[in-house]
Structure 1
Amino acid sequence: MALLTLLALLVGPILVLFLLVGLAAVHLGEGGPRAELGLVARPEADEEEREAIRAFLDRLFGEEEDLGA
């Protein structure tokens, strides 16, 4: 039981710190931690980067084929 209490006392403040940092990032307009991980689309992504990604995916999965015909 003492070990569980010690674990709660150590982990609790760390979780609160992560919550406060995340809320501060959203409040300051940085988009929060999801934007830092690249999980949010960036509207300012340039066309060259998009073309490079398309070319990579085309090489990886092959050209898009017309399956309806």
Structure 2
Amino acid sequence: MKRDSSAITWRRSTYSNGQGNCIEIADGLASTIPVRDSKDPNGPALAFTTEAWRAFVSGVQAGDFPVVG
């Protein structure tokens, strides 16, 4: 994602365990959900369409992905 992310407000899930193994997302951008690694806030961010992000979250909630770790 090639965008100045300093103007974006990032948030972590309320399910975050505080161990630093989190992602952060930003809301409020039209049709785009930026996602970044919370351990590297100045690193790159991935940008997903809102439809792709909804599909991913639905898959996680449905247990479609194996738990790693």
After TM superposition, the score normalised by the length of structure 1 is: 0.29
Quick one: higher RCO (CA 8 Å, sep 6+), 1 or 2? Answer: 2
- Larger gyration radius, structure 1 or structure 2: 1
Determine which structure has the larger strand proportion and give its number. Answer: 2
The structure with the largest helix share of the pair is 1
